[in-house]
Structure formats: C-alpha cells, structure tokens
C-alpha cells in the first residue's frame, strides 16, 4: 500500500481539439509528455499513472508513458472514474492526485504542497483556492473515490471529483494559493486550437534552459511581463 499516487487523465477523443494530447507544445515534446514529465518531478507521489482509454488511438500515449517511467491504466473511454478506480485497485494508495492532461504547466512543487497538507489534515479532498488556472491539481482520498463509484452520476464518471461537496460537510482542505500565484484572467489549460497556439507562443518565451520544468514563479512572472 502506498500513501499517494498521481493519476493523469487523458484521451485522444477531445470534442473541441481531437488528438491534442499528442500535439507538440514545445518542439519535439507533446502535450502529454510535458504533463507527465512535470508530474514525475513531484516528490511525494510514489507512482505517476497515465489513466487513458483502451481505444487504439491512445496506444502511442501509453507507450510514451512507459518510456518515461510512468505506469499506465487503460479502460473506458467515457467513464474516467473507472480508470482511477482500476489504478487504485492496482496500487492501493491512500490518496490520489488528479491531473488533467490539458494542463501542460501543472506544477510539481504545488502538487507536493497540497498533497502533504491535505494528508496531514486528514482531508477527503484538497486543492488550492484561487490558484492561477492550469498550475494546480486536486487530491482526494482513495476510499472516497471508491465509494463514489457505487452510484456515480454521468458527471462524476466523467469528471471524477464532481461528487465532492465542500459546502455540505465533506472534509475539504482548501488553503489559499500563494499571493504571487493567485488567480487572474489568464488560463494555462488547452481546450481549443486557439488555446494550443497561445500556449506554444507562451512556452516559447520561457527560459529554454529550464524546459520543461519551469517553476510556478517563473510561469506567473512571464504572464505579467
């Protein structure tokens, strides 16, 4: 049994930008590779697991993940929660970090911070409140995820943590984001072709010697130049 694993959810069948996970965001580096490399740089997760679809189109992602040293779980195209539950059955963690593969700049340091503080507090769920969109992740207890699987709604099956209700008694750990990394009008996720082009331009202006592990501070500073 492990304390913590990180699950990266990804598939090729995006509605607005099909195949985006394998598109380059940096010359020679795809979106999913950047996400995985940044997650693998986190200190606390004992494993990083790509949770992807069993569709053949996702096979290149699975091969890439294995080559990078990540684990792979493949399953239902639309029931993302079932892939997470399969990862939990396989690796038996106490907690799971959820990362979406459309966030190429998810920050490993912030992942460690929210994971450590949530586990120490014994929370069911944790995330930074007010964090710049695209830098953060969520952490949830494995037992809560498994319980949610029993009667999961379509929304929960697709979005995994949608069952959490922090206003109705769930034990949520929601510390405020560091002021220097607070939310703004900027978004650092990729949903459309325009988002992809914007991200490529933004990443190209970041310090090349630090690629792809730019710190959250470097990323936030670049947004405010």
- Torsion, Cα 47 216 118 85, to 10 degrees, reads -40
Q: 102, 1, 87: which is closest to 50 by C-alpha?
A: 87
Confidence check: pLDDT of 35 > 80: yes
Average pLDDT over residues 104-127: 96
Domain boundaries, the chain: 2-223
Partners of 73 in the beta sheet? 51
The CATH topology of domain 2-223 is Spore Coat Polysaccharide Biosynthesis Protein SpsA; Chain A (3.90.550)
pLDDT band at 1 (very low <50, low <70, confident <90, very high): low
pLDDT band at 169 (very low <50, low <70, confident <90, very high): low
Share of the chain above pLDDT 90, in %: 85
Average pLDDT over residues 54-76: 96
Please answer whether residues 74 and 62 qualify as being in contact, where contact means their C-beta atoms are separated by less than 8 angstroms. Answer: yes
Q: What is the pLDDT of residues 66-89, one digit of tens each?
A: 999 999 999 999 899 999 999 999
Q: What is the pLDDT of residues 203-217, one digit of tens each?
A: 999 999 999 999 999
Average pLDDT over residues 40-45: 98
- Measured CA to CA, the distance from residue 46 to residue 115 in angstroms comes to 12
> pLDDT at position 106, please?
98
Please answer whether residues 74 and 10 qualify as being in contact, where contact means their C-beta atoms are separated by less than 8 angstroms. Answer: no
Please answer whether residues 183 and 133 qualify as being in contact, where contact means their C-beta atoms are separated by less than 8 angstroms. Answer: yes
pTM of the predicted structure, to 2 decimals: 0.95
Q: 43, 8, 183, 187: which is closest to 113 by C-alpha?
A: 43
- Measured CA to CA, the distance from residue 65 to residue 172 in angstroms comes to 31
> pLDDT at position 16, please?
81
Please answer whether residues 78 and 158 qualify as being in contact, where contact means their C-beta atoms are separated by less than 8 angstroms. Answer: yes
Average pLDDT over residues 60-66: 97
Confidence check: pLDDT of 13 > 90: no
Confidence check: pLDDT of 48 > 60: yes
Partners of 182 in the beta sheet? 131
pLDDT band at 47 (very low <50, low <70, confident <90, very high): very high
Partners of 139 in the beta sheet? 97, 126
Which tokens is 84 given?
Answer: 């997470």
Q: 25, 64, 60: which is closest to 48 by C-alpha?
A: 64
On the CB side of 158, how many CA atoms lie within 13 Å of its CA?
5
> pLDDT at position 18, please?
87
Which tokens is 210 given?
Answer: 């630090």
Average pLDDT over residues 14-42: 94
- Measured CA to CA, the distance from residue 167 to residue 127 in angstroms comes to 14
Which tokens is 7 given?
Answer: 């699950």
Q: 33, 91, 100: which is closest to 67 by C-alpha?
A: 33
- Measured CA to CA, the distance from residue 178 to residue 167 in angstroms comes to 23
Rg of the chain, C-alpha, whole Å: 16
Mean pLDDT score of the chain, rounded to an integer? 93
């Amino acid at each position: 049994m492990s304390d913590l694993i990180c699950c990266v959810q990804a598939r090729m069948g995006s509605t607005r930008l099909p195949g985006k996970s394998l598109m380059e965001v940096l010359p020679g580096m795809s979106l999913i590779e950047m996400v995985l490399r940044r997650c693998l740089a986190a200190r606390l997760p004992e494993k990083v697991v790509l949770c992807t679809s069993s569709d053949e189109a996702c096979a290149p992602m699975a091969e890439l993940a294995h080559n990078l040293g990540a684990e792979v779980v493949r399953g239902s195209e639309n029931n993302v929660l079932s892939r997470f539950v399969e990862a939990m059955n396989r690796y038996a963690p106490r907690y799971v970090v959820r990362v979406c593969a459309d966030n190429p700049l998810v920050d490993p340091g912030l992942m460690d911070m929210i994971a450590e503080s949530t586990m120490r507090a014994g929370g069911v769920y944790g995330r930074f409140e007010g964090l710049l969109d695209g830098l953060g992740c969520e952490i949830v207890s494995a037992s809560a995820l498994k319980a949610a699987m029993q009667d999961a709604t379509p929304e929960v099956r697709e979005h995994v943590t949608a069952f959490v209700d922090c206003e109705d008694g769930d034990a949520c750990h929601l510390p405020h984001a560091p002021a220097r990394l607070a939310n703004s009008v900027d978004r650092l996720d990729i949903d459309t072709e325009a988002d992809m082009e914007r991200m490529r331009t933004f990443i190209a202006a970041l310090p090349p010697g630090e690629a792809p592990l730019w710190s959250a501070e470097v990323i936030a500073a670049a947004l405010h130049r």
